[in-house]
Amino acid sequence: MHAASSTSTPLPPFTGEVSYPRDRFMRLPEVINTCGLSRSTIYDLISREQFPAQISLSGKNVGWLASEIDRWMQSRIAQRDGGRA
C-alpha cells in the first residue's frame, strides 16, 4: 500500500475558459446542436467572418474545432453581458 501524500498542489484559479487537453473536430450536426444555430445561419456568419470557419478534413468532409466553437459562444455571452465574462 502507498501512503497518501499530505502535500497537495493547489489548483489554478478558474478563469471561465474551458481547457481542452486535446482539441477535437466537430461535424456540422454537433455544431448545430451545440450552438443552436441553423446550417444556413452558420454558413452566413462564416461568410461575414462572424463565426469560426470550417476546416477541410478530406474530400468534401469538413469539421470545426471544438475550442473555436466554445470561444465563439463565450464571446457571445461576454457581448451580452457588456464585456464581462
What pLDDT is recorded for position 22? 86
Q: Where are the alpha helices (DSSP H) in the chain?
A: 28-35, 39-47, 66-80
C-alpha cell read off for 81: 453581458
CB neighbour class for 67 (10 Å; exposed up to 12, middle 13-18, buried from 19):
middle
Q: Please report, in tens digits, the pLDDT of each residue of the chain (85 residues total).
A: 555 555 666 766 767 666 657 899 999 999 999 999 999 999 999 999 999 999 999 999 999 999 999 999 999 999 999 866 5
On whether residue 85 sits in a domain, the answer given is no
Q: Looking at residue 50, what DSSP letter applies?
A: -
| Number of domains observed in the structure of the chain | 1
- 52 domain residue, yes or no: yes
The parent domain of residue 54 ranges over: 25-80
pTM over 0.75: no
Task: Tell me whether residue 2 is in a domain.
Answer: no
